[in-house]
Every structure is written in structure tokens, then in C-alpha cells.
């Protein structure tokens, strides 16, 4: 193994090769802070790159921190590094008839998504592939046929293990301490999809030059867009799957220097293209402004502590990740009133930002309805108003994650979700402000009541954040806790595995 010592100037201060017992020694170092990295040479991949003092291997050449500080004349003898064995995923790619498919690219990505890297390989003459050098974790394995085209006749489409159209429907591949073999993928044969339809404006006239954006619910699929001609549009090719169609006209456009020629009008419609093409009739509507008031239960905090409170209407559920669906927001005025502008026909949930420490949103009423935990289309009854109640009668628990020996587990993340199954959505999950780093992590102010607490590995936690439909499976592994007002207990948890999908 190659051991290298890096100084804070990001330059190598010394290096050495380990002997047959894994021992190494690097001399001649000046006083200062250093990072110690251990890796194979460029021709081997049995173990993963590891930095001294870190819990997980790292694929980067930049150390996360400088964990060793040497004084003048000091000789450090305990700089031991525990390496993680590199793992592999292997299998065979088959066509719909069960014959091997050669020279197609197979990609492996972290199920958690985010900025995790992508590993890939091509199948050989037997349709076999092997992707190696992977750290432990949860993965998705997908194949994109080289003849990725659309037309009138059926074609092979991107398929994820074992035979899913997209990553949202794929099964997880878990790597723990051994390679994963037999991860065979059968490519799906299906025709390309098209979406067509008409768009009329709020006055009932065909909307010419309206923008139609087709956004996939599965973030591994491709979307599409078009502009209407005399109110007619067509978007193709599209992969089979579920999409949100957003049509709009008017309003400000990026790059425009002149005022908009007309007021913005929009429409949102979900569509399922899994089994067949679809045709839609979209009716645009102007945005509405939603007025409301904020009430403090008990004594309101000082004005200086409530000057930055704002109200947001956020896209709900699986719509949340799309940056094009930014929340509408409004500042709460000194008389506790607010007005949320430009709300369109989309399920949204009300949230507050900038509340003083120790205060939380207790209830949300829309007209006569309690919508505290419900997604609501606020254009349906635009004359109704919002009444928000916040309270400081809260609990403030913390979460610590330990192993079977009672030692803190820094590479894990805890969360709390309502015990009521009707509220199992990511919008209602409470997460510590910062991941645990060996000590209890504060959950922050939370309404009293019954909750389910659970701890997951970082990889599983990110996979859950990416796919909230897995929340019910997590609930079955959680610890039930009832919190009373003023409760500041520390909830101790052990890591549980996210059930396979």
C-alpha cells in the first residue's frame, strides 16, 4: 500500500510503502498539521482509499481534514489506518427473449443520489459485466441500450435491475462485506411515447406560443418541452413513465428587458405514459393571492424576534425536488397579516420560515378546513383565508445513535416521523439540524405527541430522502416515543437497515 502525508498546503510532505505486515514509517516531517492517506497503486483496487481518522473510505485526493498535528521532535506511533475492501457488482444483461446483449453500457449509481459518482462498464461477448472498486452501500444498476432510439416500432429502452423502466421502480442492490453476483437485467421492449393536446387561456381562447414543459417524476428519465401553435402542442419522444405537465403563458421570461406583454397564466396536470400515449386538454388560469393571519398561542415573542417570519406555499410530496416549482412566499407584517401571491393549481403545503427559536407551527386552517398536514390547491376557493397558529408549548428532544456496545455511531442519521400513518410524508418528517457526529443531535422544537424515531446509515437515509414512498417500510422498524410539553429527553437508537425495495 502507498501511504502519503499531505500538509495544509495540499502538497505531499512524505510517502512510503507498507511492508509485508502493513507497517510504514515516514520521517523528516516539520511541525504542523497533516492528513495521512492510504491507497493502492494505480494498477490495483483491492482496497479503497482511506484517510486517517475518517470512518468511511474516500474516492477523492483531497483530505476532508488534517487529523494529525505534530509538535517539534514528536514521534507519532499510533497512526493506524483500517482499510475497507473494495466490492463489485456483476451480472448478465439479457434481451426480452433471454439472449445475452453485448457491448451495452451498465451504470451503477448510489441509490441515495446526490453527488455520488457513477461507475460503469460494458458487457462482453457473453453479455456479462463486472463493476468493481465500490464502497459498501445501496446501489441502483441500469442499462441503456446502444440503439436508444424511438419510432413507430417497439425499441429497447433504458432498464434498471431487475426489469424496471426507471430508478424509481428499481430494486436496490446492497453491498456490505461481499460482492453482489447474479445482478441480471432483462431489457424491456416497448414503443416510444408521445404526448399531445391543446392549451386554452383563462378567457377560453387557444393559447398561441404557450410553453409546455413535460417533467418526469422519475429523475432518471428524460423530459421534453414544446411551444403551442394555435393552442396545439406535441412532445416526443418520451420514455414510458409518469410526468407532470406544466403549461404557461405570459409573465416575465429570463433575459427579457421589457415588461411582460400579459399576465402569467399556468396549468399543471399529471399524466401516465407507462402503457400508452396520451392527449391532454389544458386550461390556463391566472394566479391567485392568498391572504391570511398569524396568531401566537400565549404571549407573542418580542418584535425583534419575529421580524423575519415568512410564509411559504411549497410543492408537495414527489413534486418537491423540482427547482422550477419554487415556493411562493410572503413576509409576515407587523400586524401579523400576510398575502401569498401567484398561487396556481398545484397541491401545496403551508410552512413557516424564520420563527423564533422554540416556536413551531401548530395548526393551519383554510377557511373552515384544517389543512395542517394536507396538501391543498388554493386556487379552488380563492376567497378563503389562511389562519396560522404558532406555539411555544413544545418538546425539544435529541437523538443519539449507538452500536451494540453503547458507543456513538457518527456515520448515521436519526429522524422522527408522526405515528399517524396519514401523516407519513417527507414534509412531516423531523430531521436534526446537523447529522450526529458522535454525540446527541438536537431535533429542535417539535409539537408534543406520539412519534416514531428511527436511525439509518447515511446511505440509507439519503435513499429515503430521495424516495419518500419508502417511509411506511421504515415506520415498521421505528421506536415509538410520546413527547410531552417541555420534554428534552435524549432518544437513543440503533441503526436499522432500510428494507429492500
CATH number at residue 123: 2.60.40.10
* 184 shares its domain with 101: yes
Q: Give which of 88, 196, 209, 106 is closest to 158, Cα–Cα.
A: 106
One digit per residue, the tens of pLDDT, for the chain of length 501 reads 898 999 988 889 989 999 988 899 999 999 999 999 998 876 677 888 888 988 778 767 788 788 899 999 899 888 899 888 899 999 999 988 899 999 999 999 887 654 445 788 999 999 999 999 898 888 989 998 865 444 444 567 788 999 887 676 788 899 988 999 999 999 887 667 899 999 999 999 999 999 999 988 776 567 889 999 999 999 988 877 889 899 999 887 656 666 777 888 999 999 998 888 999 999 999 989 999 999 999 777 877 777 789 999 887 655 554 545 677 899 999 889 999 998 888 888 898 999 988 899 999 999 989 998 888 888 888 788 999 999 999 999 999 998 888 888 777 889 999 999 988 877 788 888 765 555 788 888 999 999 999 999 877 887 887 777 888 999 989 999 999 999 999 999 999 988 876
At 57 the pLDDT is 83
Handedness of CA 255, 257, 261, 263 (dihedral sign): positive
Last residue of a domain, one of 174, 190, 206: 190
* 205 shares its domain with 237: yes
Q: How many structural domains are present in the chain?
A: 5
At 436 the pLDDT is 54
In a domain, 103, yes or no: yes
Classify burial at 159, counting beta carbons within 10 Å of its beta carbon; exposed 0-12, middle 13-18, buried 19 or more. Answer: buried
At 115 the pLDDT is 40
Last residue of a domain, one of 70, 96, 116: 70
In a domain, 418, yes or no: yes
* 402 shares its domain with 451: yes
In a domain, 161, yes or no: yes
Domain residues for 460? 398-493
At 490 the pLDDT is 93
Phi-psi region of 153 (alpha: psi -120 to 50; beta: other; left: phi over 0): beta
Amino acid at each position: 500500500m502507498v501511504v502519503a502525508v499531505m500538509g495544509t498546503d495540499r502538497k505531499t510532505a512524505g510517502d512510503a510503502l507498507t511492508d509485508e505486515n502493513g507497517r510504514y514509517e515516514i520521517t523528516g516531517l516539520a511541525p504542523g498539521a497533516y492528513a495521512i492517506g492510504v491507497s493502492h497503486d494505480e494498477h490495483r483496487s483491492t482496497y479503497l482509499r482511506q484517510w486517517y481518522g475518517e470512518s468511511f473510505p474516500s474516492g477523492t485526493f483531497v483530505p476532508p481534514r488534517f487529523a494529525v498535528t505534530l509538535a517539534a521532535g514528536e514521534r507519532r506511533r499510533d497512526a493506524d489506518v483500517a482499510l475497507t475492501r473494495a466490492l463489485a457488482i456483476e451480472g448478465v444483461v439479457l434481451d426480452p427473449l433471454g439472449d445475452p446483449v453485448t457491448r451495452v453500457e451498465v451504470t451503477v449509481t448510489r441509490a441515495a443520489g446526490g453527488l455520488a459518482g457513477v461507475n460503469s462498464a460494458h458487457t462482453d461477448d457473453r453479455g456479462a459485466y463486472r463493476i468493481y472498486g465500490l464502497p459498501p452501500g445501496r446501489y441502483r444498476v441500469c442499462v441503456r441500450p446502444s440503439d436508444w432510439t424511438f419510432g413507430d416500432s417497439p425499441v429497447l429502452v433504458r432498464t434498471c435491475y431487475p426489469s424496471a423502466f426507471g430508478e424509481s421502480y428499481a430494486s436496490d442492490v446492497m453491498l456490505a462485506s461481499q460482492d453482489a453476483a447474479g445482478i441480471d437485467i432483462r431489457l424491456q421492449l416497448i414503443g416510444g411515447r408521445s404526448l399531445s393536446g391543446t392549451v386554452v387561456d383563462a378567457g377560453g381562447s387557444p393559447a398561441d406560443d404557450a410553453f409546455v414543459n413535460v417533467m418526469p417524476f422519475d429523475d432518471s428519465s428524460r423530459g421534453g418541452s414544446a411551444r403551442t401553435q394555435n393552442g396545439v402542442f406535441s412532445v416526443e419522444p418520451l420514455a414510458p413513465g409518469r410526468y407532470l405537465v406544466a403549461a404557461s403563458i405570459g409573465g416575465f421570461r429570463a433575459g427579457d428587458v421589457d415588461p411582460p406583454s400579459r399576465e402569467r397564466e399556468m396549468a399543471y396536470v399529471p399524466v401516465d405514459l407507462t402503457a400508452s400515449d396520451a392527449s391532454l386538454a389544458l386550461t390556463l388560469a391566472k394566479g391567485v393571492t392568498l391572504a391570511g393571519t398569524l396568531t401566537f398561542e400565549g404571549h407573542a415573542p418580542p418584535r425583534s424576534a419575529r421580524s423575519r417570519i415568512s410564509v411559504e406555499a411549497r410543492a408537495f410530496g414527489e413534486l418537491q425536488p423540482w427547482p422550477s416549482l419554487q415556493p411562493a412566499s410572503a413576509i409576515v407584517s407587523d400586524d401579523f397579516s400576510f398575502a401569498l401571491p401567484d398561487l396556481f393549481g398545484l397541491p401545496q403545503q403551508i410552512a413557516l420560515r424564520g420563527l423564533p427559536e422554540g416556536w413551531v407551527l401548530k395548526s393551519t386552517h383554510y377557511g373552515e378546513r384544517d389543512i395542517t398536514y394536507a396538501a391543498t390547491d388554493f386556487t379552488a376557493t380563492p376567497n378563503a383565508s389562511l389562519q396560522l397558529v404558532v406555539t411555544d408549548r413544545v418538546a425539544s428532544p435529541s437523538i443519539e445513535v449507538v452500536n451494540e456496545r453503547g458507543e456513538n455511531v457518527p456515520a448515521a442519521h436519526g429522524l422522527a416521523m408522526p405515528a399517524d400513518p396519514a401523516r407519513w410524508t417527507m414534509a412531516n418528517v423531523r430531521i436534526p439540524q446537523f447529522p450526529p457526529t458522535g454525540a446527541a443531535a438536537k431535533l429542535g422544537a417539535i409539537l408534543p405527541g406520539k412519534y416514531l424515531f428511527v436511525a439509518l446509515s447515511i446511505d440509507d437515509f439519503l435513499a429515503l430522502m430521495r424516495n419518500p414512498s419508502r417511509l411506511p417500510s421504515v415506520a415498521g422498524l421505528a421506536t415509538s416515543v410520546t413527547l410531552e410539553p417541555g420534554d428534552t429527553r435524549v432518544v437513543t437508537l440503533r441503526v436499522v437497515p432500510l428494507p429492500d425495495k
